[in-house]
A and B are shown apart, each in its own frame.
Chain A
Amino acid sequence: MTIARVRTESILLALVVFEVAVFGVFARNFLTVRNAFEVARLGVELGLLAVAMTPIVVTGGIDLSVGAVLGLSAVVLGAAFRDWHLPIAAAIALALCVGSACGALNAVLIAHWRIPPLIVTLGSLSLFRGIAEGMTHAAENYSGFPAGFLALGQGYAWGVVPWQVPILVAACAAYIVLLHRSIVGRALYAIGFVGAGARYAGIRVERRIGLVYFLSGVMASVAAIVYVAHLGRRGRMRGAGTSSMRSPQSCSAAPRCSVDVGRSGARSSACSRSRCSRTACIWPRCRPSSWAC
């Protein structure tokens, strides 16, 4: 188990090093500090979703609805600020509430009612994205956010570090503690190993499983806030394009690793890294919005 884990992660690390080396040699201006931070900026939203997906995959579940939660939270944030004339702080709080509510819905259906996560999140994916579509008629764009808010996604701390990168780092740190340094984390591994056994061992399986789906919803709305600040305007299309299949897929293909997978897995090698090294293409744009599901 430990051996397999180390191996998967070292292979991924080797791939990243190889990738960086190849592009460092062949692409001009790739191997610079500035570009490294730009690439990091582009990975934050995906990273947040993938980090939150990790404990879910550890328990043997999946959350297909994260992209839809991100889209819905982003739309609510935009609508709250522009159409309902709320101050930006209240709009952010509302977006977080939406994410929490979405996560709670998944959590209740999966943990309490014991419905398979695949089908629950498939249904809630349609529901959340459908609500976003219904609210915006798939055509609305929101803009005119205050500069202070946009700095979160477009500005730099100390002149070099994009503001959202510390958010991802903090989220990673929190999830590392949760998964590897806490009783809850050990319980999650036990549940993923044998759910019934964990129950007999006195673990509150329902609560633990509910928690990870709830947190996934919360993190998706955090990602939505970063996302809105990053693009500086946002309509339904962008959120819808953040294909939910991507992060679960990268995680489930190599469940051993969280952040590395989200950023160095299939998507970024195919998409962000290669393209972003040359153009200003950001990852949601690499796929047409209606693409994956």
Chain B
Amino acid sequence: MIRKQSRERSVALVIAVLAAVLALTRPAYFSAQNLNDLVLANLGVLTVALGTTLVIIAGEIDISVGSVFAVASVFAGAAATHGMPIALAVASACGVAACIGLLNGALVAFAGIPSIVVTLATMIGLRDALRWTTQGAWVENVPAGFQWLGLTARSYPMAASAVTIALASATAWALRYSVAGRHVYAVGSSADAARLAGIDSARVKCAVFTVGGLLTGMGAVLNTVRFNQVPSNGGLGLEMQVIAATVVGGAAITGGRGTVTGTVLGVVLLGGIGPALTFAGASAYWERALQGAIVLAAVAADAIQARRQARLA
């Protein structure tokens, strides 16, 4: 518990230092336009990362989120283009994503296949299926109400932020205070112990994958409606991005530890660092190296701390 909070505090500190340096040297970073772009670009990522946080706390991993993201985006766009009411198209896209999550979850929980193998298969299968069906073409000529979901470019970021904040708060609350949320931690700490304590571990695992799929679908919608066409190759590398953010936020990849606050901070840090590079005059091509270094530094810090605690104990 103490370690968990200290991780969040140190990530928050890093963000604060970065923000302070940027505010002093590159004030343009905090212009309304740039912040707006940053928020819009990362809302979808954050929503997906919420689901990944659940899955990781439960001790599993889902690397299919990028492909699910693309499938949900294209489904929403295509359904709207083919005359489905936009609200229904968006909702059914989320439903499709949840169903894929359910499939992943069922294979992991009930068939007992390791989650990395299952989601690797769905990641590759869905990506190829999508490429096959779309032939790489983007969805174009989406109806007028699709972009910004009928809102304006000005009001949409507010609405989307509100939705994302609500989702994050709900997830945080559920993880902390609801019985189901505690079960997720219990299963992640030790699935066997949880089962002996009367928790249906398989059902919990299946549920986190389903909710993860649903959140991925929502993230896809939030991201897709920013434009009036839908790329058929969206979400490439998204799984790495969200897992990295979750881990930087203090979640243990072995399960049983992690918080929504940590994940939010992780997304803010990793999402904000790329544009910051550009503002600092460095080449944006170094963004990925920097993100990798941050992830390694975070886990190394964890390991050092764990070792020090083991020595004290």
* A binding-site residues for B, Cβ under 8 Å: 62, 109, 113-116, 118-120, 122-131, 133-134, 136-138, 245, 249, 252-253, 266, 290-293
Contact = CB atoms under 8 A, between A and B. Distances in A.
Given A109-B299, A245-B63, 5 more contacts: A115-B302, A123-B293, A125-B292, A129-B288, A130-B287
B27 interface: no
Contacts of A116: 253-254
Contacts of A293: 63, 237, 239-240
A125 B240 contact: yes
A76 B270 CA distance: 27
A137 B288 CA distance: 12
Contacts of A123: 244, 247, 292-293, 295-296, 299
Nearest to B306: A114
B236 A290 contact: yes
A137 B283 contact: yes
Contact of A133 (B233, B288, B295): B288
B292 A119 contact: no
A3 B63 CA distance: 32
B240 A130 contact: no
Contact of A252 (B116, B123, B237, B243): B116
Interface string B261-298: 00000000000000000000001011111111101100
Contact of A122 (B123, B236, B244): B244
B117 interface: yes
A124 B296 contact: yes
Given A114-B303, A252-B117, A290-B236, A130 B290 contact: yes
Nearest to A243: B124
A36 B225 CA distance: 50
Nearest to B66: A293
Contact of A137 (B116, B253, B285): B285
Contacts of A253: 117
B295 A119 contact: yes
B300 A109 contact: yes
Contacts of B233: 290
Contacts, number: 105
A292 B239 CA distance: 10
19 contacts: A109-B296, A113-B304, A115-B302, A116-B253, A118-B253, A123-B296, A125-B240, A125-B292, A126-B244, A126-B289, A127-B289, A129-B289, A130-B285, A130-B289, A130-B290, A134-B289, A138-B285, A245-B124, A252-B117
A253 to B, nearest CB: 6
Interface in B62-84: 63
Interface string B211-251: 00000000000000000000001001101100110010000
B61 interface: yes
B67 to A, nearest CB: 10
A126 B127 contact: no
Nearest to B243: A122
Nearest to B302: A115
B163 interface: no
Interface residues of B, number: 37
Contact of B296 (A127, A131, A133, A252): A127
A134 B236 contact: no
A134 B286 contact: yes
A119 B252 CA distance: 9
A115 B303 contact: yes
Contacts of A291: 127, 236
Nearest to A290: B236
A134 B283 contact: yes
B120 interface: yes
B263 to A, nearest CB: 15
A266 B121 CA distance: 10
B120 A245 contact: yes
Contacts of B61: 118
Contacts of B288: 126-127, 129-130, 133-134
A249 B291 contact: no
Q: Which residue, A62, A124, A127, has most C-beta atoms of chain B within 10 A?
A: A127
A193 B197 CA distance: 27
Interface string B102-143: 000000000000101100100110010000000000000000
**Which 9 A-B residue pairs are closest in the complex by CB-CB distance?**
A130-B289, A126-B292, A127-B292, A130-B288, A123-B295, A134-B286, A113-B303, A123-B296, A119-B253
B231 to A, nearest CB: 12
Nearest to B238: A293
Contacts of A119: 243, 247, 253, 295, 299
Nearest to A119: B253
A181 to B, nearest CB: 29
Contacts of A115: 299-300, 302-303
Q: Which residue, B61, B116, B233, B302, has most C-beta atoms of chain A within 10 A?
A: B116
